[in-house]
Amino acid sequence: MNATLFYSPFQVWRPYLLYPWLVFIHAVSAVVSIGPFIVLIPLLTKLRTAEAQVLSSYLDTFHFVVRLSKHSGHVLVFSGLLLLWLGGWPWDTPWIAGTFIVLFASLFFMARAFSPTIRRLRQPDHDRAPLVRKLSKALYLYMFILFVMLWLMIMKPALW
């Protein structure tokens, strides 16, 4: 479809005011959404052998990173929608549609991947090794999903 069909009234002044700031906000929120998960990789090894007192602080860190990513993801999606509207991008652009497909899949994944496992690790009678393996698997899978979305947004491939 022709991008001129999706005219936005802000296209006249977007290069001067709002659009560059939205791109900046979008990029920073992407960094904040993905970056803290890198910190959790060394934390996984510490979770395997941590004593009860220290385990709670590690799980608090894990929970904080998940919540931070979730909230910065809200800013990321909202700024992305504004950029779509102000930039006149059509919804059926392959990299945009692909990103939204992966985004919706990641929402369902994130809702079930981290919090229930962290809650079970906080219980006194937990079996730590399989729970940490599950958390590790979820972390790497979610990071892969985030990097796929990042690749789609940066490379803008013609998927179809």
pLDDT band at 4 (very low <50, low <70, confident <90, very high): low
Band of the pLDDT at 158, cuts 50, 70, 90? confident
Average pLDDT over every residue of 92-101: 90
Residues 10 and 76: their CA atoms lie apart, in Å, by 20
pTM to 2 decimal places:
0.80
Pairs from 14-17 (Cβ < 8 Å, separation ≥ 24): 14/86, 14/87
**Quick check: 121 and 131 in contact, CB under 8 A?**
yes
- From CA 132, how far away is CA 49, in angstroms rounded? 10
E-only strand ranges, 13-133: none
**Over residues 131-139, mean pLDDT:** 92
Whether 16 shows a pLDDT value over 70: the answer reads no
Q: If 0-12 CB within 10 Å is exposed, 13-18 middle and 19+ buried, where does residue 91 land?
A: exposed
Span 48-53, mean pLDDT?
A: 84
Question: What is the per-residue pLDDT for 114?
Answer: 87
Q: What is the DSSP letter of 19?
A: H
Segment 87-110 mean pLDDT: 87
